[in-house]
Structure 1
Amino acid sequence: MRQRSRRLLVGAVTSLAALASGIAAVSLAGSASAAVTLNSSDVTANLWSWNWNSVSAACTNHLGPAGYGAVQVAPPAESVSLATSDSGVHPWWEIYQPVSYNLTSRFGTRAQFSSMVTACHNAGVRVYVDAVVNHMAGANNTLTTTYGGSTFSPSGYTYPAVPYGYSDFHHANDGYCSDDDAVIDDWNNVSEVQNCMLLSLSDLKTQDSGVQTKIATYLNDLVGLGVDGFRVDAAKHVAKADFAAIIAKLNNTTAEGVKPYIAQEIFTGASNSELLPSAFTSNGDVLGFSYAMGLKTQFNNGTLGNLSTIPSWSLDATSAQTAAMVTNHDLERDGTTLRYQDGTKYTLANYFLLAYPYGQPFVYDGFTFSTSSTGQSPPADSSGFVTDTNCSNSAWQCLTQSTGVKGMVGWRNATQSVTTASNWTTTSGNVIGFSRGSLGWFGLNNSSSASTATYTTGLADGTYCDRITGGASSTGCNGTAITVSGGTASVTIPAGSAVALDVNARSGGGTSPTASPSASSTSSSPSPSASASSSPTPSPSVTTSAGTVQATFNVYATTSTGTDVYVVGSNSGLGSWNTANAIKLSAAGYPIWSSTITVPGNSSFEYKYIKKDASGNVTWESNANRAVSTGSAAITYTNSWNVANASATAVTFNETATTTTGTNVYVVGSIDALGAWNTTNAIPLSSANYPTWSKPVVVPQSTTFSYKYIKKDASGNVTWESGSNRSYTTGTAATYTVSDTWK
């Protein structure tokens, strides 16, 4: 919601106590989320106004396999339902007029919302909710129909389903709002902005501890269902201290055990420093309005070369505290930013958003609309309930599912450990190129003619596959192949397009991520006992019969307690894609899981790894099916979870380091197999040969990566070794060993 664009709107009753008692139950149900493995990506798909079934499908079929880290969804609370209004039938903005904190909305039921969160988590995707906490419905409403049947009185300021009463809201000249009509008139007056009504929306008295508790109870209900974070609507209109008190009451997330992520809507433009976005960062990240507007200026003026000066721009907050975007539902409607109607420029700006190291990128997809009727409803039935998203229908925006954007998500994930742009080249005012260290190179052409130039890429020599046009395949490139020699490459960037090369998309390095096998092969959910006992692992000493060979499967995969790793594939020896018959691997060498299995000789087959928790819930790895062939001799497959290529190698890290009791040594690095620089996912080394700490780790072949060693004490405090990052490059051998000393 924004102060300049919010329109005014011309719900079974649940008490707060009943809602609170429900939180305990859903927290237990949601605890299964703790077993999932979430993508280590900072990219969020903002699927605004998509219903819960459609978000579930997007997570499973596109966002998870492509490597998105999160999905942002529309407000799930029950709202007013307007069959008529000044903007037509069921305008989009009715969802920002809550009447209760029940989860029955125009996007689906509570059960559908919960299923959506589970589906997204199983696909590796976090869920962020658009939370409306500043206000309830408009005090001047004349219609009181709602999506869940709850009742409310606009003029009486009563919402019995929460419950809220008259004293829970700000009113004219009540000692907080010093304004005769109780509506904000002075947008630079802090007291008025935060204590009076935003366009007649009933403003909650967030100074009140009871109101804070009710808001926190709502948010904790969502956290208990597995929600990982919140985009906080109209956060400028809640005093910082009030919102800090609400945040302090929030529970840790069920999937990762951390405080929910917070991104605050603080629209830029105020002259009062207390109302600027940077003033609110103590409570969380802020939306990058200035960045989005700056992108529009450069893309429209044909001055992409000016993007090299972004570090000197006057932006809303630091990179680390910005939810960056090209547009959102408010901005696209008033045209202050690029929007889907801008065609190629809009697409290119989203590529740049994902390529440039500023902020945490939110890629937006809503629904199409007429610029002359910006309040219109998303596609819905006659009662206002939003219908399923159909990306073959022009009524929906589906940029997040395009080959180019999904390719750029993979590119960003491969390069995210490098936080600066280097080797910047401005070929012309509208053609640029830059690298992210030695991990990736990106070129952009916002002109009407193809551009060919030689660029310093920062990449090691080799053949790379353009992510925009399809990335790598197991035998070559699905996308355009580009050769780097001596660190440079001659690149032709098509008119109105881009080229993206990175270390994880080399020729022959694997296909673009796909969904798991068909639903028919993934639908079985074995009981916990079946999961643990019905898939025996043959002994390596089993005699090989005619026509079969022994295949050893090694995979690097981290899991939570009670979760095991299995292999399943297209032949009967690997369960014929039936997860109930998948082969359980041994964790004796954890985090490397391994077993030897009898498979057909002289044949071709496909396989993937899955994880099963104690309840039999199955999580598929998100990369493409692994396609291999056997001969007449025993064979070994060495892989890493979610790494697409079938060719991997084991690197044994030996680190000499002395420690105190309770402190252990870990290795962490720039690739997923080494935790992608996330110390939580660092690889623990064994102290069996102290003071040498050692562990084999499965990493991709023919890959250059950076790494360092860290120490963690019993309290989880991390100490990094000093000096620059270490670097290593694998080839095609089966094993490698590195020996280092703590520095």
Structure 2
Amino acid sequence: MQRARVPRRLSLLAAGALVLGGPASAALLPGDAGATPSSAASLNTGDVTANLWEWNWPSVAEACTGHLGPAGYAAVQVAPPAESVSLASTGDGAHPWWEVYQPVSYGLTSRLGTRAEFSAMVAACHDAGVRVYVDAVINHMAGHNNTVNTTYGGSAFDPAGFSYPAVPYGHGDFHHANDGYCHDDDAGIDDWNDKSEVQNCELVSLSDLKTQSGHVRGKIAGYLNDLIGLGVDGFRIDAAKHIDQDDFAAVKGALNTTTAEGRPPYIAQEIFPGASNPDLKAAAFTRNGDVLGFAYAMGLKTQFQDGTLANLSGIPSWSLDADGSQTYAMITNHDTERDGSTLSYKNGSDYTLANYFLLAYPYGKPAIFDGFAWSSRGQSPPADSRGFVTGTDCSSGWQCITQSIGIKGMVGWRNATASATTVSDFTATASGVIGFRRGSRGWIGLNDSSGPSTASYPTGLADGVYCDVITGGAGPGGCAGTAVTVSGGTATVTIPARGAVAVHADAMSGATPTASSGANRGSTTGTSFRTGNDTWS
């Protein structure tokens, strides 16, 4: 029997009987205070998302305005915004990060900010050209094994009685042991290859919503439509593997179009791999939207840690969660960086180089992850004594690779090469040193070895002097970083140890960066400083 890897939920078991709690708040509906969306005149093209996990709403807004919009990011993903439990004492310490995955209502007062702050954040991101995707927890509510009921918004709930009156949900809105849906004596998932059990029983005592119910589906759709009314453009569906595909299709069918673009919201579903049952594999869920690229991330970890970048010349079988057109690709996320199944910021240059590759290779829709520094798996993000998350400080406690010069340069590189959908002239000068081009639009070289590497590469670019976007790209007077000369379509390039060089057709010496290079919405602001293996600006 293969067990699923669910660290945020397993934290519940480690904590024993948890505390939740508190006062009550009325459900907020579209049209309430702060619900007026701001539709941007235009949003950035491209497909790159910045996943700013557990950043508070003012910090996300600031990032959109100062960095993400100007760099050409298409979207920002934010953590669950619904009111959740507030846990002053657990086995993972006070206010662990997984609080936000235990909702008690669909109100928008949370440890990340108020409804008004959320609405202002969406408006600011849209004004910067950046869409907003929300991590939506709709499979379950807060665990019924909680022994207290404190919350961030003041809503009362009775965990043992399966009562969440602010929604409202009651006992009959949840799956229970041997209720005709969950055929298990303790209501928990024991067989991770049994579709019925995985989708109708409880994930480590989290109160599992009966999504077969029209009432439940209506409440879920109402919550998501409230967010759409505030301007949200898409959703990352948490624990989507645990929701029947037909049930979620019904919810999805009840969703409104987005306010900024008038299209169906983007959907990316969390389907962790490991099941042998084809009905529980990622490909079985693509009819409802994209799926997260877990297998791709795990495969890239192997190649970068082993220094075998030469193996990346194609998309081998390890990467195929689904077709690239339906994969929300990543190097890591909040779960996998903690269980070690993928790379994380703790892996230094391997992590940085893998993110460059993610942006360069034409597979999936890439999401670049920024969370916070951690030393224990369940610890809280930087927060005050009440658990409310404090502002992001890229020099202390937070990870900000999305704001680094190299990553922002590679977002522009990806946007500039979007029309060239295939890789050409993949060249491995050593096991850990590679270069390839995207048509006549751009070339990148990566060096995962301990010394610099000099070699000649076919670039596909017209002759001229190009500006390396990893070290700064094109500036007003020429190259802000390394200059690369192309002659006869070929460039002789020295790629630094544990580093990369990337050039594209829209970043030439003496040229002003164009919209396709990512500098289409103002200039990047802020001071420069160094953290870890990259420079932030």
TM bin (shorter chain): over 0.9
Partner of 1:301: 306
Provide Cα deviations, 1:558-614, integer angstroms capped at 9, x if missing partner.
xxxxxxxxxxxxxxxxxxxxxxxxxxxxxxxxxxxxxxxxxxxxxxxxxx9xxxxxx
| Alignment counterpart, residue 384 of structure 2, candidates 372, 381, 386 | 381
Higher relative contact order (CA 8 A, sep 6+): 2
Instruction: Calculate percent identity across the aligned residue pairs.
Output: 68
Q: Does 1:244 align with 2:246?
A: no
Instruction: Give me the whole-angstrom Cα distance separating, in 2, the residues matched to 1:624 and 1:106.
Output: 29
Provide Cα deviations, 1:63-85, integer angstroms capped at 9, x if missing partner.
01111000000000000000000
Please report how far the alpha carbon of residue 415 of structure 1 lies from its aligned counterpart in structure 2 after TM superposition: 0.5
Instruction: Give me the whole-angstrom Cα distance separating, in 2, the residues matched to 1:112 and 1:27.
Output: 8
Aligned-partner residue type, residue 138 of structure 1: G
Partner of 2:532: none
| Alignment counterpart, residue 347 of structure 2, candidates 328, 339, 342 | 342
After TM superposition, list the pairs within 5 Å mapping 1:573-612 onto structure 2: none
Instruction: Give me the whole-angstrom Cα distance separating, in 1, the residues matched to 2:197 and 2:57.
Output: 36
CA change 1:336–1:390 in 2 (3 A) is same
Provide Cα deviations, 1:455-501, integer angstroms capped at 9, x if missing partner.
00011111100000000012210021111111110011000100110
After TM superposition, list the pairs within 5 Å mapping 1:134-533 onto structure 2: 134-313=139-318, 315-370=320-375, 373-393=376-396, 395-510=397-512
- Alpha-carbon contact 1:472-1:512 (below 8 Å) kept: no
Instruction: Give me the whole-angstrom Cα distance separating, in 2, the residues matched to 1:25 and 1:111.
Output: 10
Please report how far the alpha carbon of residue 25 of structure 1 lies from its aligned counterpart in structure 2 after TM superposition: 5.7
CA change 1:131–1:160 in 2 (3 A) is same
Instruction: Give me the whole-angstrom Cα distance separating, in 1, the residues matched to 2:373 and 2:317.
Output: 35
Instruction: Give me the whole-angstrom Cα distance separating, in 2, the residues matched to 1:414 and 1:82.
Output: 46
Three-state SS of the structure 2 residue aligned to 1:29 is: coil
After TM superposition, list the pairs within 5 Å mapping 1:94-173 onto structure 2: 94-173=99-178
Instruction: Give me the whole-angstrom Cα distance separating, in 2, the residues matched to 1:331 and 1:116.
Output: 27
- Alpha-carbon contact 1:391-1:397 (below 8 Å) kept: yes
Aligned-partner residue type, residue 522 of structure 2: S
Provide Cα deviations, 1:119-167, integer angstroms capped at 9, x if missing partner.
0000000000000000001111112110011011111000000000000
Provide Cα deviations, 1:425-454, integer angstroms capped at 9, x if missing partner.
001000000001110001000001000000
Aligned-partner residue type, residue 444 of structure 1: L
Three-state SS of the structure 1 residue aligned to 2:77 is: strand
Instruction: In structure 1, list runs of 5 or more residues that go unmatched.
Output: 514-607, 609-619, 626-743
Aligned-partner residue type, residue 294 of structure 1: G
Three-state SS of the structure 2 residue aligned to 1:468 is: coil
- Alpha-carbon contact 1:460-1:484 (below 8 Å) kept: yes
Three-state SS of the structure 2 residue aligned to 1:170 is: coil
CA change 1:621–1:344 in 2 (3 A) is closer
Instruction: Give me the whole-angstrom Cα distance separating, in 2, the residues matched to 1:277 and 1:23.
Output: 33
CA change 1:306–1:203 in 2 (3 A) is same
Please report how far the alpha carbon of residue 98 of structure 1 lies from its aligned counterpart in structure 2 after TM superposition: 0.3
- Alpha-carbon contact 1:26-1:224 (below 8 Å) kept: no
Three-state SS of the structure 1 residue aligned to 2:315 is: helix
Provide Cα deviations, 1:353-383, integer angstroms capped at 9, x if missing partner.
101100000000000001xx21000000000
Provide Cα deviations, 1:647-695, integer angstroms capped at 9, x if missing partner.
xxxxxxxxxxxxxxxxxxxxxxxxxxxxxxxxxxxxxxxxxxxxxxxxx
RMSD: 1.7
Please report how far the alpha carbon of residue 96 of structure 1 lies from its aligned counterpart in structure 2 after TM superposition: 0.3
Please report how far the alpha carbon of residue 511 of structure 1 lies from its aligned counterpart in structure 2 after TM superposition: 5.6
Please report how far the alpha carbon of residue 417 of structure 1 lies from its aligned counterpart in structure 2 after TM superposition: 1.8
Partner of 1:600: none
Instruction: Give me the whole-angstrom Cα distance separating, in 2, the residues matched to 1:214 and 1:14.
Output: 16
- Alpha-carbon contact 1:14-1:162 (below 8 Å) kept: no
Instruction: Give me the whole-angstrom Cα distance separating, in 2, the residues matched to 1:387 and 1:240.
Output: 37
- Alpha-carbon contact 1:26-1:225 (below 8 Å) kept: no
After TM superposition, list the pairs within 5 Å mapping 1:46-61 onto structure 2: 46-61=51-66
Three-state SS of the structure 1 residue aligned to 2:501 is: strand
- Alpha-carbon contact 1:326-1:353 (below 8 Å) kept: yes
Q: Does 1:29 align with 2:29?
A: no
Provide Cα deviations, 1:330-354, integer angstroms capped at 9, x if missing partner.
0000111111111011111001110
- Alpha-carbon contact 1:176-1:191 (below 8 Å) kept: yes
Q: Does 1:622 align with 2:537?
A: no
CA change 1:116–1:98 in 2 (3 A) is same
From the CA coordinates, give the structure whose radius of gyration is larger. Answer: 1
Instruction: Give me the whole-angstrom Cα distance separating, in 1, the residues matched to 2:117 and 2:154.
Output: 18
What TM-score, normalized to structure 1? 0.67
- Alpha-carbon contact 1:26-1:221 (below 8 Å) kept: no
Aligned-partner residue type, residue 327 of structure 1: T
Please report how far the alpha carbon of residue 416 of structure 1 lies from its aligned counterpart in structure 2 after TM superposition: 1.3
Instruction: Give me the whole-angstrom Cα distance separating, in 1, the residues matched to 2:144 and 2:473.
Output: 53
Instruction: Give me the whole-angstrom Cα distance separating, in 2, the residues matched to 1:154 and 1:621.
Output: 47
Partner of 2:88: 83
CA change 1:440–1:311 in 2 (3 A) is farther
- Alpha-carbon contact 2:67-2:524 (below 8 Å) kept: no
Aligned-partner residue type, residue 252 of structure 1: T
Partner of 1:63: 68
Q: Does 1:38 align with 2:43?
A: yes
Provide Cα deviations, 1:66-125, integer angstroms capped at 9, x if missing partner.
110000000000000000001111010111000000000000000000000000000000
CA change 1:448–1:3 in 2 (3 A) is closer
After TM superposition, list the pairs within 5 Å mapping 1:5-24 onto structure 2: 5=7, 6=9, 7-8=11-12, 10=18, 13=24, 19=28, 22-24=29-31
Aligned residue-pair number:
510
- Alpha-carbon contact 1:408-1:467 (below 8 Å) kept: yes
Higher normalized strand content (fraction of residues): 1
Three-state SS of the structure 1 residue aligned to 2:132 is: strand
- Alpha-carbon contact 2:36-2:119 (below 8 Å) kept: no
Aligned-partner residue type, residue 92 of structure 2: S
Instruction: Give me the whole-angstrom Cα distance separating, in 1, the residues matched to 2:514 and 2:339.
Output: 36
- Alpha-carbon contact 1:478-1:511 (below 8 Å) kept: no
Aligned-partner residue type, residue 228 of structure 1: D
Instruction: In structure 2, list runs of 5 or more residues that go unmatched.
Output: 526-537
- Alpha-carbon contact 1:471-1:512 (below 8 Å) kept: no
CA change 1:174–1:117 in 2 (3 A) is same
Instruction: Give me the whole-angstrom Cα distance separating, in 1, the residues matched to 2:165 and 2:248.
Output: 23
Please report how far the alpha carbon of residue 36 of structure 1 lies from its aligned counterpart in structure 2 after TM superposition: 2.4
